[in-house]
Amino acid sequence: MTRAHDETFEVSRAVARLHAGVLALVCGVLGGAGLFAMTAWLVIKGGPSVGSHLQLLNQYFYGYSVTWRGSVVGFIYGAVTGAVVGWLIGAVYNIVATLRE
């Protein structure tokens, strides 16, 4: 019974860890694709005042605008921002998981 308990404990410890690099990659792809899709949707939709709220991102992301060029720039910024946030979430989670052991 002790051996089964030890194996269960080892598996639970292994599952409790996140790979911060993988989480950064996934969040980066989702962030970049999301900002690209939102910008492309507004460019395709068109209209007199296209994406006035999304246009405010150029205050934080230099070079971003609601255009096709801006959608590519937004993809890069979204990917970098998403990757940093994903890595931070994974790193903080792993620190907390280590402290709880």
Q: Which long-range contacts (CB under 8 A, 24 or more apart) does 20-26 make?
A: 20/86, 20/87, 20/89, 20/90, 20/91, 20/94, 21/87, 21/90, 22/90, 23/86, 23/87, 23/89, 23/90, 24/82, 24/83, 24/84, 24/86, 24/87, 24/90, 25/83, 25/86, 26/86
Domain boundaries, the chain: 18-100
Q: Give 2's pLDDT tier (boundaries 50, 70, 90).
A: low
Give the tens place of pLDDT for each residue, 26-40.
999 999 999 999 999
**What pLDDT was estimated at residue 4?**
67
